[in-house]
C-alpha cells in the first residue's frame, strides 16, 4: 500500500485529502504515479497538470524522477504560503 | 525549539523563556511576530484558515532551525506557527534567535522567517465578504 495526500487548493479541486492505494503494477517513479492518477478522469488530469505543484515523498520534497516504493507516503501540494 | 499549535501565544512570555534558556550567554535576542492583516490584495479579510501538513511541517521547521544554528552563533532559537482558524490582528507566527552578538541574531531571525515562508508546508485561506480564496505565494520575498 502507499499513502497519498493532497493539500490546500489541490485537496479542494480533487475533493479528497488522503487515500491508500495498492502501488499499481509497473509504477516505480513519481512521474508514472502522477500520470496514473491523471488517468482517473479529466478533473484529476487537469488538477495534477499544474506545474507549480510540489511533491513530497515521505515528507521530503522530491523531483519527478523520484522512486516510489511500497509503504511510501506521497503528497502533492501548491506553493506554500505560511509565515 | 519548534511548536505548531492552534492556541495563541504570548510573544513577551516566549522572549522571557528564550532569555532563560540562553542562561547568560546571549547578548541579544531578535524576534519576528507575524500577524493576520484585515486587508490583502485590496480586499477586506474577516478570517484566515491555516492548513498544514502534520509531520512534514515539524520536520521542515526543525530543518530551518538546524540550518540557522549551523550558520550563526546562536544560544537558542524558537519557531512557533499557528494553524486553524484565525482573525485579523491574531498572531500567526513567531520566530526568534538569541546570540552573543546582535548582528548574528538579526541575520538568523530574518533567515528563519524567509526560509519558513518558502519551505514550510503551510497554506493560508482567506475569508472575504463574498467568499474564500487561497493566498497566492509572495514572489517578491
| B95-116 pLDDT, tens digit each | 999 999 999 999 999 999 999 9
User: Is some CB atom of chain B closer than 8 A to the CB atom of A76?
Assistant: no
pLDDT exceeds cutoff 70 at B140? no
pTM, two decimal places: 0.94
User: Is some CB atom of chain B closer than 8 A to the CB atom of A79?
Assistant: yes
Nearest CB partner across the interface for A82, out of B55, B56, B116: B116
ipTM of predicted assembly, 2 dp = 0.94
d(CA B54, CA B34): 21
Chain A residue closest in CA terms to B110: A83
Q: Which of the following CATH numbers is that of domain A2-72: 3.40.50.300, 3.30.70.3000, 3.30.420.10, 3.10.20.30?
A: 3.10.20.30
Q: Could you please state the CATH topology (level 3) that the domain comprising B2-126 is classified under.
A: Aldehyde Oxidoreductase; domain 3 (3.90.1170)
pLDDT exceeds cutoff 70 at B27? yes
Q: At what angle do helices B102-119 and B56-71 cross, to 10 degrees?
A: 150
Asked whether the beta carbons of residue A7 and residue B123 sit closer than 8 angstroms, the reply is yes
Percent of chain B with pLDDT over 70: 98
Domain ranges of chain A: 2-72
Average pLDDT, chain A: 97
- Cβ atoms of B98 and B28 closer than 8 Å: yes
Domain ranges of chain B: 2-126
In terms of C-beta density within 10 A (0-12 exposed, 13-18 middle, 19 or more buried), how is residue B42 classed? Answer: exposed
Q: What is the 3-state secondary structure (H, E, C) of B22-86?
A: HCCCCCEEEEEEEECCCEECCEEEEEEEEEECCCHHHHHHHHHHHHHHHHCCCCEEEEEEECEEE
Chain A residue closest in CA terms to B33: A83
CA distances from B59 to A52, A59, B73 (A): 22, 8, 22
Chain B residue closest in CA terms to A12: B134
Q: H/E element holding A5?
A: strand A2-6
d(CA B40, CA B20): 37
User: Residue B101 has what DSSP assignment?
Assistant: S
User: Is some CB atom of chain A closer than 8 A to the CB atom of B59?
Assistant: yes
Asked whether the beta carbons of residue B122 and residue A80 sit closer than 8 angstroms, the reply is yes
Asked whether the beta carbons of residue B120 and residue A7 sit closer than 8 angstroms, the reply is no
User: Is some CB atom of chain B closer than 8 A to the CB atom of A42?
Assistant: no
Q: B59 to chain A nearest CA, in Å?
A: 8
- Cβ atoms of B95 and B79 closer than 8 Å: yes
Asked whether the beta carbons of residue A83 and residue B50 sit closer than 8 angstroms, the reply is no
Amino acid at each position: 500500500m502507499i499513502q497519498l495526500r493532497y493539500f490546500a487548493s489541490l485537496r479542494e479541486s480533487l475533493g479528497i485529502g488522503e487515500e491508500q492505494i495498492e502501488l499499481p503494477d509497473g509504477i516505480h517513479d513519481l512521474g508514472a504515479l502522477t500520470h496514473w492518477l491523471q488517468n482517473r478522469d479529466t478533473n484529476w488530469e487537469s488538477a495534477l497538470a499544474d506545474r507549480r505543484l510540489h511533491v513530497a515523498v515521505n515528507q521530503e520534497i522530491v523531483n519527478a524522477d523520484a522512486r516510489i516504493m511500497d509503504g511510501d507516503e506521497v503528497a502533492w501540494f501548491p506553493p506554500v504560503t505560511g509565515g | 525549539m519548534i511548536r505548531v499549535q492552534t492556541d495563541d501565544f504570548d510573544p513577551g512570555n516566549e522572549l522571557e523563556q528564550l532569555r532563560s534558556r540562553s542562561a547568560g550567554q546571549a547578548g541579544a535576542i531578535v524576534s519576528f511576530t507575524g500577524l493576520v492583516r484585515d486587508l490583502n490584495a485590496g480586499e477586506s479579510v474577516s478570517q484566515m484558515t491555516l492548513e498544514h501538513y502534520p509531520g512534514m511541517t515539524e520536520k521542515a521547521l526543525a530543518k530551518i532551525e538546524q540550518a540557522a544554528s549551523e550558520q550563526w552563533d546562536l544560544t537558542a532559537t524558537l519557531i512557533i506557527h499557528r494553524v486553524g482558524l484565525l482573525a485579523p490582528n491574531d498572531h500567526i507566527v513567531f520566530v526568534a534567535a538569541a546570540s552573543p552578538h546582535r548582528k548574528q541574531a538579526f541575520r538568523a531571525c530574518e533567515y528563519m522567517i524567509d526560509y519558513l515562508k518558502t519551505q514550510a508546508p503551510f497554506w493560508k485561506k482567506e475569508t472575504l465578504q463574498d467568499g474564500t480564496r487561497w493566498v497566492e505565494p509572495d514572489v517578491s520575498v
